[in-house]
Amino acid sequence: MEVVASRQFKKMNFNKVIILGNLTRDPESRTLPSGQPVVSFSVATNRFFTDRNGQKQKAAEFHNVVAFGRLAEICSRYLNKGKLILVEGRLQTRTWQDQNGNKKWRTEIIMENMQLGPRVANEDVPSLPQDTAQPEEIPIIDADEEFDNENKESGVNVDEIPF
């Protein structure tokens, strides 16, 4: 039985990304020709380590993120530069030719789930009266979540992405 399970595992593939970081720019919103909303933004993650000389170092990595449908609508409404976000998704690399015929490529995280970071005290949002203030629950948003949208599509055609 063990041998069969290991053979099946060799046929499996897994493409999952989870990052927690801050937006490096405001989300850019667009609409596909099908009417489906799409948003793109970049997230920076930091890694702290000690180098060979014992000095503490910090290295940043930048990730391109793309969200579609309801997730795109939520991102464009609630996210802006500097906001903390947890992104869960899959890696996808797109290739195209630029105006000069040069081949270009871009690896992106296609968002499937997200969790917004906590609100900062000085944000311009309506607040509750002091005596009824409750800690804010951070919503977890799933790409498979049902939503009412006149332009709902069952899938995304990568060829329709305008960027």
Domain boundaries, the chain: 13-48+57-119+132-145
Would you identify the CATH topology of the domain 13-48+57-119+132-145?
Answer: OB fold (Dihydrolipoamide Acetyltransferase, E2P) (2.40.50)
Q: Which residue in 147, 163, 160 sits closest to 34, CA to CA?
A: 160
Q: What tokens appear for 12 in the block?
A: 């499996």
pLDDT tens-digit profile of 126-161?
A: 444 444 445 555 555 565 555 444 444 445 665 666
pLDDT of res. 117: 84
pLDDT of res. 11: 73
pLDDT tens-digit profile of 24-76?
A: 999 999 999 999 999 999 999 999 999 999 999 999 999 999 999 999 999 99
pLDDT mean over 3-16? 71
What is the pTM assigned to this prediction?
0.66
Cβ atoms < 10 Å from Cβ of 1: 4
Range from 12-16, 84-88, 120-124, 153-157 that averages highest in pLDDT:
84-88
pLDDT of res. 8: 62
pLDDT mean over 87-102? 93
pLDDT of res. 148: 45
pLDDT mean over 100-105? 92
Cβ atoms < 10 Å from Cβ of 73: 16
What are the distances in angstroms from CA 155 to CA 5, 89, 143?
32, 15, 11
Helices (H) and strands (E) counted in the chain, each on its own, are 2, 7
pLDDT of res. 157: 61
Is residue 22 exposed (0-12), middle (13-18) or buried (19+ Cβ within 10 Å)? middle
pLDDT of res. 142: 60
Is residue 105 exposed (0-12), middle (13-18) or buried (19+ Cβ within 10 Å)? exposed
pLDDT of res. 160: 64
